[in-house]
Amino acid sequence: MSETLCVKWTITANEHPQPLLHCRRCCSTQPFRTGGKMRVNANGKRIDAWLIYRCTACDGTWNRPVLERRPVGSIEPEILSKLMANDAELVAQIASDAEDLRRHAPRLKETAEIRVTKSVLSGNMSRPRTLHIVLAVPQPVAPRLDRLLAEELSLSRNRIHALAKAWALTVAKANTARALRKPVREGTELTIRLPVAGAEWIAHSAVGSCGA
Ligand SMILES: [Zn+2]
């Protein structure tokens, strides 16, 4: 039986990614937020569609291209009517696509409002000696690694740093003390040698509600 419990935490923002753009109205760089409205412009046989964002400081608008000069015939009628109707599901799908958004706005606002989805990669929860955590961070999120660990493992931040000092917590390919104070990063892997007392409790927190 493996004594190592391997888990994956996927950290996503609790809100749609917000582009950081220079606002022409208030002349400053601001995060822009979408209210879920689309603008569709059919010009003869071509169609353009944008998702409308507003400056969080002054309400100035920015139109995020969704379709650019596309032949009307190349778009499924169902998608077209959804675009026209600001279909909430389609809007959410577009708004949450951070990779596509980066094509138009290279800088996205890092958010502290996060959601952590946990899954077990291998091992089991009965008396694990070691906990291995792999972080997937597909969106720009801002929480520091020590805060994330404290929150998600139900330990104090002092305890997290004490474990690091005692070499019971190590971040792979990084200076652990430094990595703990930095925002979480895609692909970070860390290992915690679990204290005998409390091992199962910590393992339970690491796995969350996904069970094992
Ligand atoms: Zn503005």
Taking only the tens of pLDDT, the chain with its 212 residues reads 579 999 999 998 888 999 999 999 999 999 999 999 999 998 889 999 999 999 999 999 999 999 999 998 999 999 999 999 999 999 999 998 888 999 999 899 988 789 999 999 999 888 889 999 999 998 888 889 999 999 999 999 999 999 999 999 999 999 999 999 999 999 999 999 998 888 888 999 999 865 44
Taking the domains of the chain in order of start, what are their residue ranges? 4-14+111-210, 21-104
Cβ atoms within 10 Å of 31's Cβ, excluding its own: 20
How many whole angstroms from 58 Cα to the centroid of ligand 1?
Answer: 4
Using the mean position of ligand 1's atoms as its centre, give its distance from the Cα of residue 18 in Å: 14
Q: How far is the CA of 71 from the centre of ligand 1 (A)?
A: 33
The most distant pair of C-alpha atoms in the chain lies apart, rounded to whole Å, by 71
E strand or H helix at 137? none
